[in-house]
Amino acid sequence: MLGAGVSEVARDHVTLTDGTTIPTHLTVWGGGEKAASVVETAGVDVGHGDRVTVNPDLSVEGFPGVYAVGDAANIPAEDGSVLPQLGSVAQQAGDWVGRNILADVADEKLEPFRYHDKGIMAMIGRRAAVAEVGEHRHELHGRVAFAAWLGVHAALLSNITAEMRAFHLWAEDFYFRPSHRSAALLDPSTIDTPRINWRGAQPKD
């Protein structure tokens, strides 16, 4: 049902903004990334997700010396599609832009961005994750994938202070806090407030 908003997720149904009720005991929500509002008002052409549509070399059309990367940009892939909003894409694009800026200053040719796909991973619960790594997409899951997820994200941080802070927060969140928040996603009947009201009202029993 395209174009329909959700007003309420309850234990045994979902209510849409038009009043339609869908009986269900399982609700899966997926959200995307949207660029900050400053991008939409910057006077540049924006596309999906209100992100800047950039040239292959990550420059912004019509604005010499201006580049866009990360969640602010729709970065074209070599096959003509748009690269996903991933940390690895943002990091590699940032490094590439740095080199292109130096090339631009030196009046040298700008190189089109080439993304090296090292795999993909996602944290799916407390001490659990899934991952596909390597050229042949070797599959990892459970605690091994979770450890890999922690390691990769720590490596992307800027310095040892940020890494230590992140590990402290992760340890507190995944190992020391009560696990009922995960249960709320898997089994709403196990918690006191199983209903989510998207209008911002207080949850009901």
The domains of the chain, with CATH numbers, are 1-30 (no CATH), 37-105 (3.50.50.60), 118-176 (no CATH)
Task: Give the C-alpha separation, 116 to 48, whole Å.
Answer: 23
Give the tokens for residue 145: 């994938």
Give the tokens for residue 170: 């992760």
Task: Give the C-alpha separation, 162 to 173, whole Å.
Answer: 16
- Give, for all 205 residues of the chain, the pLDDT tens digit: 888 889 999 989 999 999 999 999 998 888 777 888 888 888 888 888 899 999 999 999 999 999 999 989 999 998 889 998 888 899 899 999 999 999 999 999 999 999 988 777 777 766 677 887 766 677 877 777 777 777 776 776 667 777 677 767 766 666 566 554 444 444 555 555 555 555 554 455 4
Task: Give the C-alpha separation, 55 to 76, whole Å.
Answer: 7
Q: Which helix (H) or strand (E) holds 186?
A: helix 180-186
Question: 53 vs 100, 134, 155, 187, CA distance in Å?
Answer: 17, 29, 29, 41
> What is the pLDDT at residue 140?
77
Q: What predicted TM-score, i.e. pTM, was given to this entire model?
A: 0.59
In single-letter form, the type of residue at position 3 comes to G
> What is the pLDDT at residue 182?
45
